[in-house]
């Protein structure tokens, strides 16, 4: 039970009818919000609209029941659009389902082996870079529907997509464009006046924009693409369970996309959970959340669904509507189920131009554009990391972007830590007796970490060896790795080759454990090991007489 303990089991202490009513109302609200987003995300990903709705119902319910956050709402997310569209384009829908299921296994294993906290080590610059890059790609992917361009199929690659859009620039549908602009304007206006609407402020702008565009399209019989004309509408019920064809050869074929989906799903869900923690002043269980995400992504593909993760916009909407337990997320799924059971025929007239406007709005709000304006406040490595991830996400691939971003962050971290590691000779003010033994006895204080990025520090000391005794004070060394210990052992060998006594002072905690494991204490006599520099220098002077 300690390994698998959903948050819902601890959510009902002090629960009351008033809290239940708030959860139910919040669940209904966020269910209505999720409807246009789920369809829009699926369509933008190259799938049918019902794939997004089924994912929101099944994965959303499983994440709420099994997750490690009290209020997180799961379902299809905008961050997945670019990845899913690329997988569908290169591998096909059948392989997308397999990759999604495999990503679920990876996510579950990440949570089972307690790797949830490691996601927090991904630098902010990397997260902002790929988030903004994905936002740009989402906006780019919606230009076709926003302008009503006559394009049979949009390429997945950035430069080819731009070229295709440019080639079709003379096929703009003015009616679709006016509908898109009207929907976008309504979204922006609704957001601006929402605080003055009283109870109506709880109605999301996405629903208002979609409903208004659908009514206008139906009443005026506008010549624009709709869900009905493109996909034939959506089914009024859940799909049946169908086995995904699985073979070792196919699994090898999609393992890279599956890993990408798992990593992105883990990052998105845990970031969302942290945002939720701040809203309700609670602390989520990151490993339990990953296991729940894994189960949801493993199950959903067998019902024709797409990848799912925690969704920040819907989670915030749920909390602001009064949610306090996973009941709200369960009600959100039930609400969507009721909508498709009884209202599926109404979806036929939803114009794709309106959904494109909604996604444009989501993409804009998804990006952290102010961070680019603030770049001048940061050092060059931070700027380089963020911008490289941003441009690589757009131009190449999210996986490559994250790899390069982590590499830049890794190199920057090594450089910064190595620059903080230093050594200095013992002060003549603190140890005036050393002045009488200049050239024969040298004492150095080492600060920081002795690791593979700072071994030159010991090489520099080796170039300043005295004639009889070297005293090293490691009191201010916080960490020594294997490479650092090897460098110390090499320094000990150099001293032995020149008949120089090496005295070690201040070994404690991790450096002491490393000295034991590395064999340093076996090679340095016990009477050359001292608790502090003062005793070491006194012994060195005493032995020199």
Same domain, 66 and 215: yes
Listed in sequence order, the residues at least 6 apart from 115 whose beta carbon sits closer than 8 Å to its beta carbon are 287, 290
Give the integer Cα–Cα distance in Å for 231 and 347: 11
Q: Report pLDDT for 60.
A: 96
Give the integer Cα–Cα distance in Å for 401 and 394: 9
297 — pLDDT class (breaks 50, 70, 90): very high
Domain span at residue 399 reads 380-419
Same domain, 319 and 408: no
Average pLDDT (365-371) is 85
For residue 365, give the nearest of 102, 51, 78 by alpha carbon: 78
Same domain, 428 and 529: yes
What mean pLDDT value characterizes the chain?
A: 90
**CATH number, domain with residue 447:** 3.30.750.24
Same domain, 311 and 433: no
Average pLDDT (127-139) is 87
Same domain, 412 and 487: no
Average pLDDT (350-356) is 93
Cβ burial, residue 373 (10 Å; 0-12/13-18/19+): exposed
Average pLDDT (266-276) is 87
Same domain, 441 and 295: no
Local structure of 504: helix, strand or coil: strand
Q: Report pLDDT for 144.
A: 94
Query: Is the model's pTM score more than 0.75?
Result: yes
Q: For 492-516, how does the pLDDT look when each residue is reduced to its tens digit (9 = 90+)?
A: 999 999 999 999 999 999 999 999 9
What's the CA angle centered on 298, arms 297 and 302, to 5 degrees?
105
Partners of residue 309 on adjacent β-strands = 75
Asked if the structure places residue 15 within a domain, the reply is no
Hey, CA dihedral for 415, 420, 426, 428, is it positive or negative?
Answer: positive
Same domain, 145 and 109: yes
432 — pLDDT class (breaks 50, 70, 90): confident
198 — pLDDT class (breaks 50, 70, 90): low
**pLDDT at residue 157 greater than cutoff 90:** no
**pLDDT at residue 1 greater than cutoff 70:** no
Same domain, 137 and 226: yes
Asked if the structure places residue 441 within a domain, the reply is yes
Average pLDDT (374-385) is 86
Q: Report pLDDT for 2.
A: 66
Please check whether residue 57 is in contact with residue 333, taking contact to mean a CB–CB distance below 8 angstroms. yes
199 — pLDDT class (breaks 50, 70, 90): low
Q: Report pLDDT for 27.
A: 92
Q: Report pLDDT for 416.
A: 86
Average pLDDT (195-216) is 80
| Residue 12 φ/ψ, nearest 5 degrees | -110, 10
**Number of domain units in the chain:** 3
Same domain, 114 and 245: yes
Give the integer Cα–Cα distance in Å for 259 and 263: 6
Q: For 15-31, how does the pLDDT look when each residue is reduced to its tens digit (9 = 90+)?
A: 898 899 999 988 998 89
Give the integer Cα–Cα distance in Å for 66 and 308: 14
**pLDDT at residue 67 greater than cutoff 90:** yes
| Residue 473 φ/ψ, nearest 5 degrees | -100, 115
Average pLDDT (119-135) is 83
Q: Report pLDDT for 201.
A: 65
Asked if the structure places residue 4 within a domain, the reply is no
Asked if the structure places residue 10 within a domain, the reply is no
Q: Report pLDDT for 448.
A: 93
In terms of phi and psi (left: phi > 0; alpha: psi -120 to 50; beta: otherwise), the region of 480 is: beta
Average pLDDT (485-493) is 95
Round to the nearest angstrom and report the end-to-end CA distance of the chain: 67
Same domain, 197 and 290: yes
- Give me the half-sphere count of Cα atoms (radius 13 Å) on the Cβ side of residue 116: 23
Local structure of 530: helix, strand or coil: strand
278 — pLDDT class (breaks 50, 70, 90): confident
Q: Report pLDDT for 483.
A: 94
Please check whether residue 319 is in contact with residue 71, taking contact to mean a CB–CB distance below 8 angstroms. yes
Asked if the structure places residue 292 within a domain, the reply is yes
Domain end point (choices 394, 419, 444): 419
Q: Report pLDDT for 378.
A: 85
Please check whether residue 478 is in contact with residue 513, taking contact to mean a CB–CB distance below 8 angstroms. no
**Greater pLDDT, 378 or 424:** 424
Average pLDDT (283-300) is 96
**Greater pLDDT, 65 or 393:** 65
**pLDDT at residue 202 greater than cutoff 70:** no
Same domain, 259 and 116: yes
For residue 349, give the nearest of 225, 237, 235 by alpha carbon: 225
156 — pLDDT class (breaks 50, 70, 90): confident
Share of the chain above pLDDT 90, in %: 54
Same domain, 351 and 455: no
Asked if the structure places residue 3 within a domain, the reply is no
């Amino acid at each position: 039970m300690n390994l698998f303990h959903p948050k819902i089991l601890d959510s009902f202490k002090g629960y009351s009818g008033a809290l239940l009513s708030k959860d139910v109302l919040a669940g209904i609200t966020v269910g209505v919000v999720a409807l246009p987003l789920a369809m829009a995300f699926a369509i933008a990903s190259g799938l049918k609209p019902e794939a997004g709705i089924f994912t929101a119902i099944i994965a959303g319910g499983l994440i709420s029941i099994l997750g490690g956050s009290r209020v997180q709402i799961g379902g299809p997310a905008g961050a997945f659009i670019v990845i899913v569209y690329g997988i569908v384009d290169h591998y096909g829908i059948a392989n997308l389902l397999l990759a999604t299921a495999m990503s679920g296994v990876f996510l579950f294993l990440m949570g089972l082996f307690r790797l949830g906290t490691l996601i927090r080590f991904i630098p902010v610059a990397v997260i902002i870079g790929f988030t903004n890059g994905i936002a740009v790609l989402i906006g780019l992917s919606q230009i076709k529907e926003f302008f009503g361009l006559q394009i049979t199929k949009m390429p997945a690659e950035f430069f080819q997509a731009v070229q295709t859009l440019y080639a079709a620039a003379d096929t703009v549908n003015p009616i679709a464009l006016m509908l898109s602009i009207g929907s976008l304007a309504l979204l922006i206006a609704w957001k601006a006046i929402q605080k003055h609407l009283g109870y109506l402020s709880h109605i999301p702008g996405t629903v208002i924009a979609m409903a208004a565009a659908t009514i206008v399209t139906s009443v005026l019989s506008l010549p624009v693409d709709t869900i009905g004309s493109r996909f034939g509408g959506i089914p009024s019920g859940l799909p049946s369970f169908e086995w995904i064809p699985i073979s070792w050869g196919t699994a090898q074929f999609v393992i890279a996309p599956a890993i990408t989906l798992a990593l992105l799903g883990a990052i998105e869900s845990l970031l969302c959970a942290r945002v939720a923690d701040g809203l309700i002043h609670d602390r989520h269980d990151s490993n339990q959340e990953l296991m729940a995400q894994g189960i949801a992504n493993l199950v959903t593909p067998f019902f024709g669904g797409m990848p799912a993760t925690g969704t920040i916009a819907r989670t915030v909407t749920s909390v602001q509507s009064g949610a306090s337990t996973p009941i709200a997320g369960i009600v959100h799924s039930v609400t969507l189920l009721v909508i498709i059971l009884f209202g599926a025929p109404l979806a036929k007239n939803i114009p794709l131009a309106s959904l494109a406007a909604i996604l444009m709005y989501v993409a804009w709000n998804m990006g952290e554009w102010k961070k680019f304006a603030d770049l001048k406040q940061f050092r060059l490595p931070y700027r380089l990391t963020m911008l490289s991830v941003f441009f690589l996400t757009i131009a190449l691939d999210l996986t490559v972007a994250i790899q390069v971003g982590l590499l830049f962050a890794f190199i920057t971290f090594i450089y910064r830590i190595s620059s903080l590691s230093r050594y200095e000779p013992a002060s003549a003010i603190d140890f005036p007796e050393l002045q009488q033994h200049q050239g024969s006895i040298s004492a150095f204080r080492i600060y920081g970490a002795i690791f593979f990025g700072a071994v030159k520090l010991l090489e520099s000391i080796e170039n300043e060896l005295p004639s009889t005794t070297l005293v090293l004070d490691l009191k201010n060394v916080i960490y020594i790795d294997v490479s650092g210990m090897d460098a110390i052992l090499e320094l000990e060998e150099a001293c032995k080759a020149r008949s120089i006594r090496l005295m070690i002072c201040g070994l404690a905690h991790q450096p002491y454990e490393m000295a034991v494991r590395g064999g340093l204490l076996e090679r340095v006599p016990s009477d050359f090991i001292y608790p502090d520099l003062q005793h070491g220098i006194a012994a060195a002077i005493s032995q020199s007489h």
